[in-house]
Amino acid sequence: MTKKPVPYKIYLSEEEIPKQWYNLNAAMKVKHAPFLNPATLQPCSAAELSQVFCAECVEQELNDKDLYIDIPEDIRAFYKMYRPSPLVRAYVLEKALDTPAEIYYKFEGNNTSGSHKLNSAVAQAYYAKKQGLKSVTTETGAGQWGTALSMACAFYGLDLRVYMVKVSSEQKPYRKEVMRTYGATVIPSPSDSTEAGRKILKEFPGTGGSLGCAISEAVECAVSSPSCRYVLGSVLDHVVLHQSVIGLESKVAMEKYGVQPDIVIGCVGGGSNFGGLIAPFMGEKIQGKNNIEFIGVEPASCPSLTRGKYVYDFCDSAKITPLAKMYTLGCGFMPSASHAGGLRYHGMSPIVSALYHEGLMRAVAVEQTKVFEAAEFFARTEGILPAPESSHAIRAAIDEALKCKETGEKKTILFGLTGTGYFDMAAYKQYNDGTMTDTVPTDEELAKGFASIPAIPQNN
Ligand SMILES: *Cc1c(COP(=O)(O)O)cnc(C)c1O
């Protein structure tokens, strides 16, 4: 085969947007353990889950049989407004690093919400509308998920209530205005609009809130109205499923030029972009068709894979969600105030957790000053101002490329560039001012988080 020269950007046509998502859960030989009802410790039934989530998302959540699941034409029509996303050959970065490695990145920041989260927001809003629901609720910490969902809800004419962690809504007032522009109601959490919020306000007057508290408020609000459901932007299998468009498009684009990645890298918060990016490549690895190295990159301040335990734990800190078997730092773990808001989660996608446990991928933890060093280098070479979350993947990609420089190996590296960092300028300011610090939890601090893991038989 004669190899065509690879352009700076590989664009696919609209027709090449996938018509089906790739269900990594079906490709896995060892399935992850089911969600458990914390009261009965029995697997959650579809009926139980459907009280909180949209019916079709529950069906996808529990589907570990169908390798491909059709993307409804309506969702593809929305995808066409901002997809296919470009796959970029990082020629300028390669040259600046003086590496024999070839570096590619899949850029998901090319939409107004600024991240990959829109891929699942659109799908979840579509299914809510199709079910005849009038409204959905969610929580948002850093704001990317709330923004993506408000765009999707505006498109499908759904009311949206976003419980935004109070400190974030004060620190990022413009994020809030983007959501309001798309018609969402943004409520700083804790609020007096729910039982859970009132209770926390009474107990801790003046608190800045937390993600766990915002989840409790959003879930309470959803279950107290029959035409409302709660939607989540990461962690769950159906979110990983929706994000498989990232990996499917990447694979088609690379195959067009006869390129095969040796290493695939993504940042991991709840695991959805990473799970989606690696999905079709990992499926083939499980079938013995490739030997790709997969690397998940997490912040050293919130190291759920590299230092967490693989046990059943709550998905939220208020302990109201089902129990998931996953790598976790304990639902009571309070990560330090690092700038990668989207990666500050105590647990990890059950799919990614199972892959890690089976030894099919590895994980690295990186400190934020090193992450911003990479972000700055990337901005100055490739031009894109990356989100702090995405910059974790950049850090690892640069490190792998520098290893190639030492060994002379000509590896092909693919990484996920999940979003842009325009709302994170306070973080960039700290970095530029030289006042950014790294906080890595001590073993004693981690022990406190582990103590919050529910005391249930963990052998199942
Ligand atoms: C939310 C977010 C992440 C992390 O979420 P995952 O579910 O782990 O993908 C990464 N990058 C950006 C830009 C985000 O907004």
228-232, 367-371, 389-393, 453-457: the lowest-pLDDT one: 453-457
| Residue 3 forms part of a structural domain | no
Same domain as 443, residue 432: yes
Query: Cα separation of 274 and 247, whole Å?
Result: 9
Give the domain-ending residue among 178, 208, 230: 230
pLDDT of residue 339: 77
Give the number of the atom of ligand 1 that is nearest the alpha carbon of residue 275.
9
Query: Cα separation of 91 and 194, whole Å?
Result: 52
Same domain as 148, residue 266: no
| Residue 302 forms part of a structural domain | yes
Same domain as 302, residue 226: no
Same domain as 49, residue 131: yes
Is pLDDT above 90 for 95? yes
| Residue 51 forms part of a structural domain | yes
Ligand 1 contacts CB of residue 272 (under 6 A): yes
- pLDDT (tens digit per residue) in 149-164: 999 999 999 999 999 9
Same domain as 126, residue 110: no
Query: Cα separation of 77 and 74, whole Å?
Result: 5
Residue among 271, 300, 299, 324 at smallest CA distance from 453 = 324
For the chain, the domain total comes to: 2
pLDDT of residue 1: 53
Same domain as 66, residue 211: yes
Residue 3 CA to ligand 1 center (angstroms) comes to 34
Ligand 1 contacts CB of residue 390 (under 6 A): yes
Q: Which two tokens stand for residue 401?
A: 């490329």
Is pLDDT above 90 for 204? no
Residue linked to tokens 């070479």: 381
Ligand 1 contacts CB of residue 341 (under 6 A): no
346, 331 in Cβ contact below 8 A? yes
| Residue 174 forms part of a structural domain | yes
Residue 282 CA to ligand 1 center (angstroms) comes to 19
- What share of the chain has pLDDT > 70, as a percent? 99
φ and ψ of 363, to 5 deg: -130, 145
Q: Pairing between strand 263-267 and 293-299? A: parallel
Task: Label residue 200 by pLDDT band (50, 70, 90).
Answer: confident
Give the domain-ending residue among 184, 212, 230: 230
Query: Cα separation of 341 and 427, whole Å?
Result: 11
| Residue 127 forms part of a structural domain | yes
pLDDT of residue 318: 80
Same domain as 152, residue 94: no
Same domain as 336, residue 222: no
Q: Which two tokens stand for residue 454?
A: 């529910």
Give the number of the atom of ligand 1 that is nearest the alpha carbon of residue 271.
8
Same domain as 146, residue 92: no
Is pLDDT above 60 for 460? no
Mean pLDDT of 351-378: 98
φ and ψ of 391, to 5 deg: -65, -15
Residue linked to tokens 């700055």: 376
Same domain as 395, residue 292: yes
Is pLDDT above 90 for 144? yes
Mean pLDDT of 91-99: 98
| Residue 126 forms part of a structural domain | yes
Same domain as 360, residue 440: yes
Round the average pLDDT of the chain to a whole number and report it: 95
Give the domain-ending residue among 206, 230, 254: 230
Q: Which residues pair with 104 in a beta bridge?
A: 89, 414
Query: Cα separation of 159 and 185, whole Å?
Result: 8
DSSP 43: B
274, 348, 352, 389, best to mutate for ligand 1 pocket (most atoms within 8 Å of CB): 389
Is pLDDT above 70 for 375? yes
Vertex 34 angle, CA 240 and 221, to 5°: 70
233, 198 in Cβ contact below 8 A? no
Residue among 358, 437, 361, 432 at smallest CA distance from 33 = 358
CATH code: domain of residue 96: 3.40.50.1100
Same domain as 157, residue 212: yes
107, 418, 423, 424, best to mutate for ligand 1 pocket (most atoms within 8 Å of CB): 418
pLDDT of residue 2: 59
Q: Pairing between strand 102-107 and 412-417? A: parallel
Which of 164-167's residues contact partners 24+ apart within 8 Å by CB, and which partners?
164/139, 164/140, 164/188, 164/189, 164/214, 165/139, 165/140, 165/141, 165/189, 165/208, 165/209, 165/210, 165/211, 165/213, 165/214, 166/190, 166/207, 166/208, 166/209, 167/208, 167/209
- pLDDT (tens digit per residue) in 318-356: 888 899 999 999 998 888 877 777 888 899 999 999 999
This prediction has a pTM of 0.97
| Residue 77 forms part of a structural domain | no
Task: Quote the domain boundaries for residue 204.
Answer: 20-70+117-230
- Of residues 233 and 457, more confidence is placed in 233
163, 189 in Cβ contact below 8 A? yes
- pLDDT (tens digit per residue) in 167-190: 888 888 999 999 999 999 999 999
| Residue 121 forms part of a structural domain | yes
Ligand 1 contacts CB of residue 387 (under 6 A): yes
